[in-house]
């Protein structure tokens, strides 16, 4: 799902239910739920369904070229929690 599509869905929900808490499931089976604590972190997602996420700020601050493949590229993901 893209951020634009996600925002469209969330905006519709916010109009109808403006005061509900935002929570997330810790896994697909719903074994645990927690409150969403921040709006999101922009960065790079490597993988498909499962993968790794690298924070843009961390990539830019890293000086040992560990993230050379991402330097100068536009982020492709936002991590919401």
Q: Is there a single domain that holds both residue 50 and residue 81? A: yes
Q: Is there a single domain that holds both residue 73 and residue 54? A: yes
Q: Is there a single domain that holds both residue 2 and residue 29? A: yes
Cα(41)–Cα(76) distance, integer angstroms: 11
**pLDDT tens, residue by residue, 34-78:** 998 888 999 999 998 889 999 999 999 987 878 889 988 999 999
Task: List, in order, residues 6 or more apart from 8 with CB less than 8 Å away.
Answer: none
Better pLDDT: 14 or 31: 14
Q: Is there a single domain that holds both residue 46 and residue 81? A: yes
**Residue 51 CA, distance from chain mean position:** 12
pLDDT value of residue 4? 96
Residue pair 36/24 in contact (Cβ under 8 Å)? The answer is: yes
Split into its structural domains, the chain has a count of 2
pLDDT value of residue 71? 87
The pTM of the full predicted model, rounded to 2 decimals, is 0.74
Domain region containing 16: 1-37
């Amino acid at each position: 799902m893209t951020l634009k599509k996600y925002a469209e869905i969330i905006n519709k929900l916010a109009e109808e239910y403006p005061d509900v808490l935002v929570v997330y499931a810790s896994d697909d089976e719903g074994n645990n739920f927690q409150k969403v604590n921040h709006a999101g972190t922009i960065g790079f997602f490597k993988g498909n369904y499962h993968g790794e996420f690298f924070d843009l700020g961390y990539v830019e601050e890293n000086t040992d070229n560990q993230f050379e493949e991402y330097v100068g590229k536009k982020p492709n993901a936002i991590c919401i929690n």
